[in-house]
Amino acid sequence: MNESELIDWIQLINTDGIGPVRFYKLLAKYGSAKESLKVLSAKQALFLRKDAEYELEKARRLNIRIIARDDKDYPQNFNQLNDAPPVLYVKGRTDILNYPAMVSIVGARNASVSGRKIASRIAYDLTENEVIVVSGMARGIDSAAHKGALYAKQEHGTTIAVLGTGVDVVYPLENQELYEQICARGAVISEYLPGTQPQASNFPRRNRLVSALSAGTLVVEASLNSGSLITARMALEQGKDIFAVPGSPLEGRSAGCNQLIRDGAYLTESAEDILNTLAFTQNRQIKAYPKGDLFANPLDKGQKNDNIPFQIKTDKAFSEHPLTDLIPAGGIETDELIRLARQDTVQTMMQITELELEGLIERINGSVLILKDKKSRKN
């Protein structure tokens, strides 16, 4: 597709009243976006051509790749959708968009500590086994999944984030550093024009792309009215497998997952459950975690909670965690902390992830770890 044709596509899909389904009907009827625009111009106002040209120039300036549906890098999994985005905006790597083994991980934004740990560990294991994790970069489970994937492969793991905003808009703002890491090692994609701000209606539409990109979808913590169940429903409609982590019937955040399992989703406790079901395990092996791994069920360590199972007591975890004793007030480089820990590198990296998820340490400038002030820690 040449530049003029790409501008035609941008102009047509952004004209009021033109969604992906009508876009393709117009192309089928009139043969091209250019001819469709000619016909529409006699009936309604169009998205201005100068604005479409500006969007193309802005994308170049921001190092955003625009991929039309007939581009070789366009995700072929999207072709199963009757409303596949005609134009996709990408920051980061485009070579991974057609990777054959992908799994999406979604779940609650107000996720528990244990839920975030499970999502992060499963994402880590999947990435170690050459599976790319896809999610939506939201708070909670999404962010934990992306972080787990990025920590894999000795902090060279990759992941894909599908946004409900413009590909250049970080939402929530607290994920700025995560966004930059994903852009550097993976891909951030969106069907919306750069600069598009968060709108409630965009996120359910985003979910269809999260599920379509993947061979299966894992749900970790979701209430009965959670948007994650929308993703699961879309995945089912696309013929994908659904996986769900079970939880206590006393915990509202587990109700959606438990319902999915009752409806036939695969009960999932580890990445191995997903790998075996999707047959991604040929010539691969789940890496064993050292005994005492911090992602283990805290109840196995004798911790007790009468209300919500598997909840870590933050201050206690902080005071007893050996790595925190090695982090000076001014912070420390990740590589140096790994060296000082004098233990298995994988174990140390997973402990660092644990501390970050609990809000006990913070990463700045990409690789420096600092202790968070007790007053600012997450509960």
Q: How far apart are CA 249 and CA 69, in angstroms?
A: 44
- Closest C-alpha to 34, from 53, 9, 59: 9
Both tokens assigned to 219: 């749900």
Q: What pLDDT is recorded for position 328?
A: 78
In order of their start, the domains of the chain are 1-61 (1.10.150), 102-278 (3.40.50.450), 298-376 (1.10.10.10)
Q: What pLDDT is recorded for position 157?
A: 95
Q: What pLDDT is recorded for position 365?
A: 66
Q: Which residues pair with 134 in a beta bridge?
A: 104, 160
Q: What pLDDT is recorded for position 346?
A: 67
Q: What pLDDT is recorded for position 366?
A: 65
Question: Consecutive sets of 10 residues in the chain, 379 residues long: mean pLDDT of each?
Answer: 95 96 96 96 95 97 96 95 96 96 95 94 96 96 96 94 97 95 97 94 91 96 88 90 92 91 94 90 47 33 30 34 74 78 73 78 76 54
Q: What pLDDT is recorded for position 298?
A: 30
CB 204 within 8 A of CB 234: no
Instruction: Give the chain's largest Cα–Cα span.
Output: 73
Compute the C-alpha angle 177/90/181, nearest 5°.
Answer: 20
Quick one: residue 221, left, alpha or beta (phi over 0 = left, psi -120 to 50 = alpha)?
left
Which burial class, exposed, middle or buried, applies to 103 when counting CB atoms under 10 A from its CB (0-12, 13-18, 19+)? buried
Which burial class, exposed, middle or buried, applies to 123 when counting CB atoms under 10 A from its CB (0-12, 13-18, 19+)? buried
Question: What pTM, to 2 d.p., does this model score?
Answer: 0.76
- Tell me the Cα Rg of the chain: 22
Q: What pLDDT is recorded for position 169?
A: 96
